[in-house]
Amino acid sequence: MTESRDLPKSAAQRIAFIFPGQGSQAVGMGKELFEKFPIARKTFEEADNALGYKLSQVCFEGPEEQLRLTEITQPAILTVSVAALRVLEGRVPKPSFVAGHSLGEYSAHVASGTMTFADAIRTVRKRGKYMQEAVPVGVGAMAAILGLELEKVSAVCQEAAQGEVCSPANINSPEQIVISGNTAAVERGTKLADERGAKRAKLLPVSAPFHCSLMKPAQDRLEADLNALKTQKPVYPVVCNVEASLVSDEIRARETLVAQVTGSVKWEQSMRLLIEKGVQTFVEIGPGKVLCGLMRQIDRSKTCLNVADDASLTKALQQFGS
């Protein structure tokens, strides 16, 4: 990789906004931003109105079991991410690119103006519902495989499938790959990965087997909703999970969001694409610091800031000299 000092000045200053997905939720998220910034308060009110219930209350007060329900988690994370984005906008340079992990790709499209926030929030509520309903509870599972390269994980999945579904779902970093499919097949895959030298292989406490072919019923239902949405050409190129490529027109934006339901999240490849494009600074916008943690495993030389609350916002603004 060319050192930033050898790049043209504009490339040396390239930043990307990245948005977290499911699993980053926590009771209390967004509360500080809501209390301190009118634009964040307006964002939560917009979400409450679009959904017809007090999503803000679930975000701030829980209970956690309710916040963990997929059809609540997805709009909740999207809302906190967009609230943080709106607080940040105008205080830091504009991004050259945007990306989001799974659900976070919707936040990225809101940031890029591909779809309105209200449309996105209603769509991800349905996305969560469809994903939950696609597979009966207990039929599917997911597992995290740590410290085993993709080629070996893919081989493990093929061997473990035995006529069922087992495939890489999230290629998060060189250290972390999540597999998804039928429960028995994923259990076999976890055991095989252990035997083949994974540092750790463990089943995840998730309610459905996301990003595998078992999600096809959800994908079909979501496609109709996405095709009915009014979308615009993205202002900033959006990295799509399913291809780890840049999307810069609204038709491909919809197609890739549809394909993403059953396709793998190619997060590591997506981040490497942005690094190749000269991005030096990544700003994770929304709850948690999961994506910054993954960036340390992908390329420690890059700067990754996060904006989730008042303290992290202040720190990020100091880094930008704002």
Structure confidence at residue 13 (pLDDT): 75
How many CA atoms within 13 Å lie on the side-chain side of 185? 22
pLDDT at 8 over 60: no
Q: What is the pLDDT of residue 12?
A: 52
Q: Which member of 107, 173, 211, 264 is catalytic?
A: 211
Annotation says 102 is catalytic? yes
Q: Which residues of 145-174 are buried (b: 16+ CB within 10 A; e: fewer)?
A: bbebebebbeebbeebbeeebbbbbbbbbe
Mean pLDDT (whole number) for 1-9: 34
Res 9 pLDDT > 50 = no
pTM here?
0.94
Residue 1 confidence (pLDDT) above 50: no
pLDDT in tens, 171-219: 999 999 999 999 999 999 999 999 999 999 999 988 889 999 999 999 9
Separation of alpha carbons 288 and 308, rounded Å: 7
What is the edge-to-edge ordering of all strands in the sheet holding 245-247?
245-247, 238-240, 97-100, 15-19, 281-285, 303-307
Q: How do the domains of the chain map onto residue ranges?
A: 4-134+214-319, 140-206
Q: At what angle are helices 310-319 and 70-88 packed, to 10 degrees?
A: 40
DSSP-derived secondary structure for 29-66: TTHHHHHH-HHHHHHHHHHHHHHTS-HHHHHHH--HHH
211 classed as catalytic:
yes
The pLDDT value given to residue 10: 47
Q: How far apart are CA 185 and CA 266, in angstroms?
A: 22
Considering the candidates 24, 56, 96, 102, report the single residue annotated as catalytic.
102
Q: Is 236 helix (H, G, I), strand (E, B) or coil?
A: coil
Q: How much of the chain exceeds pLDDT 90, in percent?
A: 91
One-character DSSP codes across 147-186? S--HHHHHHHHHHHHTTS-EEEEEEEETTEEEEEEEHHHH
What confidence tens digit (pLDDT) does each residue in 82-126 have?
Answer: 999 999 999 999 999 999 999 999 999 999 999 999 999 999 999
pLDDT digits (tens, 9 = 90+) for 12-62: 579 999 999 998 999 999 999 999 999 999 999 999 999 999 999 999 999
C-alpha torsion sign, points 69, 75, 77, 80: negative
Six token digits for residue 221: 């239902």
Q: What does the pLDDT look like over 218-261, one tens digit per residue? A: 999 999 999 999 999 999 999 999 999 999 999 999 999 999 99
* Partners of 202 in beta bridges: 144
* Residue 69 burial (C-beta neighbours within 10 Å; 0-12, 13-18, 19+): middle
CA distance 29 to 50: 19
Cα four-point dihedral sign 101, 104, 108, 111: negative
Question: Matching CATH topology for 4-134+214-319 and 140-206?
Answer: no
Fold observed for domain 140-206: Alpha-Beta Plaits (3.30.70)
Q: What's phi and psi for 263, nearest 5 deg?
A: -85, 165
Percent of the chain with pLDDT over 70: 96
The chain-wide mean pLDDT, for the chain, equals 94
pLDDT tens figures, 270-289:
999 999 999 999 999 999 99
Give the phi and the psi of residue 74 in degrees, each rounded to 5: -65, -50
Identify the pLDDT of residue 321. 83
Give the DSSP H/E element, type plus range, for residue 315.
Answer: helix 310-319
**What fold does the segment set 4-134+214-319 form as a domain?**
Malonyl-Coenzyme A Acyl Carrier Protein; domain 2 (3.40.366)
